[in-house]
């Protein structure tokens, strides 16, 4: 298998890609910055929201594929703390997507043993959005398959700042000593508290930046960038990213 992987080329067919993937070395946590919906729509002379609608369909396919491959956690960046800057009509549409997605897909997610989880300032979401996502978390809380972690109104700087605040409060209350603060304590105050760090970070649409996503958690993640716009992303692209990941040597500062 490794010999085959070393000959990996980007023009393999879907079937060949499947054969390239080592099912034992599947990244346990994959995080995706789903970008390019607006450009996808613009390229077709459609309003930006048409791109978001199409992007939602891709989420379904990618979740299923990740679950089939045995990925443990799939984190999807759906809305950042900076995305409120967009026109109100677009923000309103984006806030409707979670319930549209869940109204349609929650029964099959339950069926597939997927556990929905949230990361971000959920309190600030519109009531209808909040209700839909909280219901999904509750209805899937006992599931033991793929953890589907939606980053909604998520920003890593806010997350880190908030962790600092919470830790400071514990110091103020005398529950913690400054000298006892360590990485593990900080991690416990992040929105990923009980999750492992992403092994693989994917960003679509050709942008090579993090846009305030999981700044602490991706310290040793492998990055895979593609020019493919999110609505054009499919299962084969995910397999391609995993195949590339499997060729990387993760050294964590060692030799």
149 counts as catalytic:
no
Cα Rg of the chain, angstroms: 19
List the one residue out of 137, 143, 113 whose CA is nearest residue 125.
137
Q: Which residues does the annotation place in the binding site for substrate?
A: 36-40, 48, 52, 80-82, 84, 86, 203, 209-211
Q: Name the strands in the sheet holding 222-225, side by side, starting at the edge strand that comes first in the sequence.
A: 115-119, 147-154, 73-80, 29-33, 200-203, 222-225
Q: By C-beta, is 35 or 105 nearer to Mg ion?
A: 35
Tell how far CA 74 is from the center of its chain.
Answer: 5
Closest approach of ligand IPE to the CB of residue 210, in Å: 8
Task: Candidates 68, 124, 207, 227: give the one binding ligand IPE (CB under 6 A).
Answer: 207
CB atoms closer than 10 angstroms to residue 253: 5
Q: Does 33 bind Mg ion (CB under 5 A)?
A: no
Q: Which of 110, 132, 105, 130 is nearest to 120 (CA)?
A: 130
Specify the residue, 90 or 112, whose C-beta has the smaller distance to Mg ion.
90
Asked whether the beta carbons of 241 and 224 are under 8 A apart, the reply is: yes
Among 50, 56, 71, 78, binds ligand IPE (CB under 6 A): 78
DSSP 12: -
83 touching ligand IPE, by CB under 6 A: yes
- Binding segment (CB under 6 A) for ligand IPE, from list 35-43, 155-163, 186-194, 241-249: 35-43
**Binders of Mg ion: how many residues, by CB under 5 A?**
1
35 contributes a contact to Mg ion by CB under 5 A: yes
Residues that bind ligand IPE (CB under 6 A): 33-39, 77-80, 83, 94, 205, 207, 209, 211, 230
């Amino acid at each position: 298998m490794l010999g085959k992987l070393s000959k990996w080329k980007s023009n393999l067919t879907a079937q060949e890609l499947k054969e390239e993937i080592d099912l034992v070395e599947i990244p346990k946590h994959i995080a995706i910055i789903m970008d390019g919906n607006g450009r996808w729509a613009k390229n077709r002379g459609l309003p930006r929201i048409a791109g978001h609608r199409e992007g939602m369909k891709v989420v379904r396919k990618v979740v299923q594929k990740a679950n089939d491959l045995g990925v443990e956690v799939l984190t999807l960046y759906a809305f950042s703390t900076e995305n409120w800057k967009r026109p109100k009509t677009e923000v309103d549409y984006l806030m409707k997507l979670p319930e549209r997605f869940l109204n349609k897909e929650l029964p099959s997610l339950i069926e597939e043993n997927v556990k929905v989880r949230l990361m971000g300032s959920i309190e600030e979401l519109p009531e209808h959005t909040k209700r839909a996502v909280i219901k999904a978390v509750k209805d899937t809380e006992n599931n033991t398959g793929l953890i589907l972690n939606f980053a909604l109104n998520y920003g890593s700087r806010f997350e880190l700042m908030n962790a600092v605040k919470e830790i400071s409060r514990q110091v103020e209350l005398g529950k913690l000593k400054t000298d006892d603060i360590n990485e593990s304590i900080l991690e416990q105050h992040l929105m990923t508290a009980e999750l492992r760090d992403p092994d693989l970070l994917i960003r679509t649409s050709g942008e090579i930046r993090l846009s305030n996503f999981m700044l602490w958690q991706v310290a040793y993640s492998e990055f895979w960038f593609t020019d493919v716009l999110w609505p054009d992303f499919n299962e084969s692209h995910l397999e391609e990213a995993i195949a590339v990941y499997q060729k990387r040597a993760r050294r964590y500062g060692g030799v």
